[in-house]
């Protein structure tokens, strides 16, 4: 069964800290991997997309890496802010073009 | 923001009634997906479509059917709604054949079956 595991399930950190969210997947034949943000009661907002041939992508304070051989991706958030509080979801597209999601990490940035 | 619209945004229906949710896109993306999101389960794929009239099942397809008669519309039908189908439903679009094409999501439909 194709699975995505996100650790930790929840995280609270003081404002200003750098932090890392982890995502691991069991399928080695992925097409791409994407990180999303979801605010309570809202839809999903795409943050970063990494193609299978890429190792990382950066957008502002966010950096995502991909290691297909170990089945891992990380999302690095620099200088965290209270507005970063949300649930962060990792998902990959497999070779059947299905998008498989993890259960997310609930992030709370303390002012 | 990607042009993807779900309707209705909220619906309350009675057990045993049929319900149809609509997803409309203006991006001309080939792939469209229906997910449900439930506490403790995350997002689970119900059905997806890879072209007009081309659909396939996801991991939780029982009790659901879909139709795609044109590129921009993907309909999800609950043939006879049950309380276990109370959930938030999300539609997504993607176009894997184009480099760097992200998946985009609609705002969701909150369905309550009473």
- Which residues, listed in sequence order, are joined to residue A19 by a DSSP beta bridge? A77
pLDDT of the residue at B62? 96
Contacts with B39 (C-beta within 8 Å, 6 or more apart), sequence order: none
Using CA atoms, how far apart are residues B11 and A21, in angstroms rounded to an integer? 35
B94·A99 Cβ contact <8 A: yes
Q: d(Cα B63, Cα B34) in Å, to the nearest integer?
A: 13
- Whether the pLDDT of residue A2 is over 80: the answer is no
Cβ–Cβ of B103/A51 closer than 8 Å?
no
Q: Are the beta carbons of B100 and A99 separated by less than 8 Å? A: no
Helix (H) or strand (E) holding A109: strand A105-110
Residue A44 has pLDDT above 70, yes or no: yes
pLDDT band at residue B100 under the 50/70/90 scheme: low
Tokens coding A109: 């940035």
| DSSP class per residue in A29-59 | -EEEEEEEEE-TTS-EEEEEEEETT-SEEEE
Q: Which of B7, B51, B100, B103 to mutate to test the interface with A (most CBs of A within 10 A)?
A: B103
Q: Which helix or strand (DSSP H or E) is residue B55 part of? A: strand B54-57
Is B105 at the interface with chain A, CB within 8 A?
yes
Mean local confidence (pLDDT), B93-101: 78
| 8 Å CB contact between A69 and B16 | no
pLDDT per position as a tens digit, B32-82: 999 999 988 889 999 999 999 999 999 999 999 999 999 999 999 999 999
- Residue range B96-112: average pLDDT? 86
Report how far residue B103's alpha carbon sits from residue B85's, in angstroms, rounded to the nearest whole number: 24
A chain contacts of residue B100, beta-carbon cutoff 8 Å? 49, 51
- Residue B97: the pLDDT is 73
Label residue A91 by pLDDT band (50, 70, 90). Answer: very high
> For residues A107 and A89, what is the distance between their CA atoms, to the nearest angstrom?
11
Alpha carbons B2 and B7: distance in angstroms, whole number: 16
Asked if B99 and B109 count as a contact pair (C-beta separation under 8 A), the reply is no
Tokens of B85: 């189908």
Separation between Cα atoms, residue A36 and residue A52, nearest integer Å: 17
Percent of chain A with pLDDT over 70: 99
pLDDT band at B99 (very low <50, low <70, confident <90, very high): low
Chain A residues lying within 8 Å of B30, measured CB to CB: none
CB pairs under 8 A between A and B: 55
What residue has token string 């950096």?
A63
Contacts of A104 in chain B (CB under 8 A): 42
Q: Which pLDDT value is given to residue B101?
A: 79
The CB-based long-range contact list for A60-69 (8 Å cut-off, 24+ gap) reads A62/A35, A64/A33, A64/A35, A66/A33, A68/A28, A68/A30, A69/A28
Per CB-CB distance under 8 Å, the chain B contacts of A91 are 43, 103
| Residue B102 Cα, gap to closest chain A Cα (Å) | 6
Taking an 8 Å cut-off on Cβ atoms, the answer to whether B107 and A42 are in contact is: yes
Local confidence band at A24 (pLDDT 50, 70, 90 cut-offs) = very high
């Amino acid at each position: 069964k194709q699975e995505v595991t996100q650790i930790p399930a929840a995280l609270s950190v003081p404002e200003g800290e750098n932090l890392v969210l982890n995502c691991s997947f069991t399928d080695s034949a992925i097409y791409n991997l994407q990180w999303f943000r979801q605010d309570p009661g809202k839809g999903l907002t795409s943050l970063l997309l990494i193609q299978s041939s890429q190792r990382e992508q950066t957008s502002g304070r966010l950096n995502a890496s991909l290691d297909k051989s170990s089945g891992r991706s990380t999302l690095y958030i620099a200088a965290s802010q209270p507005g970063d509080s949300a649930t962060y979801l990792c998902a990959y597209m497999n070779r059947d073009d299905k998008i498989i999601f993890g259960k997310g990490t609930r992030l709370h940035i303390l002012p | 923001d990607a042009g993807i619209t779900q309707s209705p945004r909220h619906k309350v229906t009675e057990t045993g009634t049929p319900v149809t949710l609509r997803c409309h896109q203006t991006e001309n993306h080939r792939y469209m997906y229906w997910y449900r999101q439930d506490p403790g389960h995350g997002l689970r794929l119900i059905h997806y479509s890879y072209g007009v009239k081309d659909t396939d099942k996801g991991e939780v397809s029982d009790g659901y059917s879909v139709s795609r008669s044109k590129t921009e519309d993907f309909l999800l039908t609950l043939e006879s709604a049950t309380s276990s189908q109370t959930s938030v439903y999300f539609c997504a679009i993607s176009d894997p054949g184009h480099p760097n094409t992200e998946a985009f999501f609609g705002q969701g439909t909150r369905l309550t079956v009473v």
